[in-house]
Amino acid sequence: MRNILLTMTYDGSKFHGWQIQNNAVSVQEVFQKALFQVLGKPADIKGCSRTDSGVHANMYCVSFHTDHRIPVERIAPAVNNYLPPSIAVLSAKEVPMDFHARYSCKGKEYIYKIWNSEIRNPFLHGYALHYWYQLDLDAMNEAGSHLIGCHDFTSFCTLDNREKGDFHRTIKEFNICRKDEMVVLTVEADGFLYNMVRIIVGTMLYVSKGKIAPGDIPEIIKAENRKKAGPTAPPEGLYLNRVFY
């Protein structure tokens, strides 16, 4: 038996999220079928996170145990052979048997892309949020600085049966920068609650609009109340960008 860690990337606009579900095509389902073609039997795949419908991954990790003897450097090209163009395996390596793509994860980085222009960009439909009004990056960065550190992020979490227990997470990095019309928000944390990045983005858009002041953020965190933060931004701008082990 070996434990294999695969790194992949996928265009989330073509899928209903990572996780297998009825009546909708998920990345996991398509990936599992391709892996089955290579290994000749089903593998129990551990994904590094559940990404929502329409969310993209520049980097996504999965691990699985196998007794197949395929050389590790052959795995990526072999699996890619059976995958559609919307998913690509970037690399594969052997890891210790107790490694788990989700539980061994030490942190993740997400980016959120915003096309900030009065005119839409046809090439970014489904790949960035189109936002008409000029964004106030200074205010957004000031607001974001209050998110850094270890906090209870209940106010930035969609409550459903997914989230149990501790709502503390540590945000290590936060910044928003612009290159011409493209604004990119980057946030790194030891872990993320359900919809956390999208609610952070929605809150930042409220900050830019003046509906929330940058100095209100500590109070919003302290409230531990989802209603105090801004709306959940749409999924199409969100990319899982890096996974740390």
Judged by beta carbon, residue 9 or residue 19, the one nearer its own copies is 9
- CB of 226: closest distance to its own copies in angstroms? 31
* Segment near its own copies (CB under 8 A); pick from 66-74, 78-86, 169-177, 213-221: 78-86
Per CB under 8 A, the list member of 76, 193, 204, 221 interacting with its own copies is 76
Per CB under 8 A, the list member of 119, 164, 179, 227 interacting with its own copies is 119
Q: Does 11 bind its own copies (CB under 8 A)?
A: yes
* Segment near its own copies (CB under 8 A); pick from 3-11, 67-75, 170-178, 212-220: 3-11
Q: Tell me how far the alpha carbon of residue 45 is from its chain's centroid.
A: 18
How far apart CA 236 and CA 222 sit, in angstroms, is 29
Residue of 52, 136, 190, 216 marked catalytic: 52
Question: How many residues form the binding site for its own copies (CB under 8 A)?
Answer: 21
- CB of 112: closest distance to its own copies in angstroms? 15
Per-position x/- string for 46-65, each x denoting binding to its own copies as judged by CB under 8 A, each - no binding? ----------x---------
Judged by beta carbon, residue 9 or residue 175, the one nearer its own copies is 9
Q: Is 67 a catalytic residue?
A: no
Q: Does 122 bind its own copies (CB under 8 A)?
A: yes
Chain residues in the site for its own copies (CB under 8 A): 9-11, 56, 76-77, 80, 85-90, 118-123, 125, 127
Residues classed as catalytic: 52
